[in-house]
């Protein structure tokens, strides 16, 4: 079987979404899929990057063999429909790895528009059962396959240093965009006198938003390239939470957690950290079933959860994290999903 994908330009190595797509390209290559576009590039200039992607995709469509199988990643800016058109002319089968669903974010496309476009793929690889159920409820006729969690490939750039855990003062890590001035992050100082502190890695931190700078439990560590941040993160738990509130994940990004696989979850696992996640998030089931952390309805529950956590409970989390980490580093989950998708369209 001729199996192809198209590498593209990515605007930033700081971007976690770009990291996920770059890893997917590598995993496809490792599984015998051939890139028929230009080599993967990282050009931040929007005009130049778009031009390179357009030329690479056009070249790929010219090189695409008839009746082959093409794996795409969605969204793909302006080019997804263009590639579908070119692939259809050559009677190719299409598998699409879905990274984001605009309709679920309330952006750009209606549910009907997005489903109609994605249904043109013979198979879709979706984040998890919650996202798959949404596609089923909206009459998507493609074969649907669960990814379960995003893999995370990594080559260490320096020696990783992990500080031994202090069971009286856990270090909770939040990595990624910090949100606006009203972000839940700055409200964490309500927990003064607790049994944890919050270490921050990423972009958008505003020191001026700290309420009590002398007694804050917040510690901003800086921003790092998405493929290097693992070498710098040092903590005991990774937090998956969005929005401006401590009691729930609200707003479009918070509600999106009910359907998506946050890439930061995979990042935390690669950093050997158990997970703390909103209990209504789609990935809460994965965390609980694999015993790699715990879920909370409100961030106010963290203190009590940590007080009740025994050393043996924490050690069990760490052991299970190590098992899951090994799979992510190998590209296990995408490999499994791609093979299943291939079997469904044969």
Do the bridges between strand 170-175 and strand 143-146 make them parallel or antiparallel, or are there none, so unpaired? unpaired
At residue 13, the pLDDT reads 60
Class of residue 312 by CB neighbours under 10 A (exposed 0-12, middle 13-18, buried 19+) = exposed
- Helix axis angle, 311-330 to 263-270, nearest 10°: 110
DSSP string, 10-26: -S-SS-HHHHHHHHHHH
Q: What are phi and psi of 142, to 5 degrees?
A: -70, 160
More confident residue, 231 or 342: 342
Topology of domain 170-328 in CATH is Rossmann fold (3.40.50)
Q: Which one, of 257, 274, 259, 276, lies nearest residue 324 by Cα?
A: 274
Quick one: tokens of 169?
């003062």
What residue segments make up the domains of the chain, in order of their start?
3-151+331-345, 170-328
Same fold, 3-151+331-345 and 170-328: yes
Residue 304: which residues within 8 A CB-CB, separation 6 or more? Answer: none
Segment 67-108, tens digit of pLDDT = 999 999 999 878 999 999 999 999 999 999 999 999 999 888
The pLDDT-based confidence of 142 (bands split at 50, 70, 90) is: very high
Quick one: tokens of 149?
């969690």
**pLDDT exceeds 80 at position 44:** no
At residue 56, the pLDDT reads 87
Can you say how many angstroms the Cα of residue 87 is from the centroid of all Cα atoms in its chain? 27
Q: How far, in Å, CA of 340 to CA of 335, rounded?
A: 9
Residues 174, 148 contacting (CB under 8 angstroms): no
Residues 226, 202 contacting (CB under 8 angstroms): no
At residue 15, the pLDDT reads 60
Residues in the chain, how many?
A: 346
Topology of domain 3-151+331-345 in CATH is Rossmann fold (3.40.50)
């Amino acid at each position: 079987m001729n199996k192809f994908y198209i590498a593209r330009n990515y605007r930033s190595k700081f971007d976690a979404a770009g990291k996920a797509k770059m890893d997917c390209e590598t995993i496809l290559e490792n599984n015998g899929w051939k890139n028929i576009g230009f080599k993967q590039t990282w050009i931040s200039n929007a005009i130049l990057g778009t031009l390179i992607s357009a030329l690479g995709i056009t070249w790929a469509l010219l090189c695409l063999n008839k009746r082959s199988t093409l794996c795409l990643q969605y969204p793909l800016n302006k080019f997804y429909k263009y590639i579908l058109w070119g692939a259809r002319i050559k009677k190719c089968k299409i598998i699409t790895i879905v990274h984001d669903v605009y309709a679920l974010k309330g952006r750009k496309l209606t549910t009907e528009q997005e489903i109609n476009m994605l249904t043109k793929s013979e198979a879709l690889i979706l984040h998890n059962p919650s996202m798959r159920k949404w596609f089923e409820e909206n009459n998507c006729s493609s074969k649907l396959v669960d990814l379960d969690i995003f893999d995370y490939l990594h080559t260490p750039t320096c020696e990783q240093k992990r500080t031994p855990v202090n069971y009286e003062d856990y270090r909770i890590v939040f990595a990624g965009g910090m949100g606006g001035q009203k972000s839940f992050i700055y409200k964490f100082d309500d927990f003064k006198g607790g049994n944890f502190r919050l270490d921050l890695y990423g972009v958008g931190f505003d020191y001026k938003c700290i309420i009590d700078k002398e007694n804050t439990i917040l510690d901003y560590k800086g921003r790092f390239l998405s493929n290097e941040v693992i070498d710098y993160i040092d903590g005991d738990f990774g937090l998956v939470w969005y929005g401006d509130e401590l009691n729930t994940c609200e707003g479009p990004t918070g509600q999106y957690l009910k359907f998506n696989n946050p890439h930061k979850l995979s990042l935390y696992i690669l950093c050997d950290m158990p997970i703390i996640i909103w209990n209504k998030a789609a990935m809460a089931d994965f965390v609980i079933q694999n015993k790699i952390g715990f879920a909370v309805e409100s961030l106010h529950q963290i203190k009590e959860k940590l007080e009740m956590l025994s050393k043996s409970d924490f050690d069990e989390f760490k052991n299970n994290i190590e098992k899951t980490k090994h799979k992510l580093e190998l590209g296990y989950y995408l490999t499994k999903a791609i093979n299943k998708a291939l079997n469904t369209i044969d």
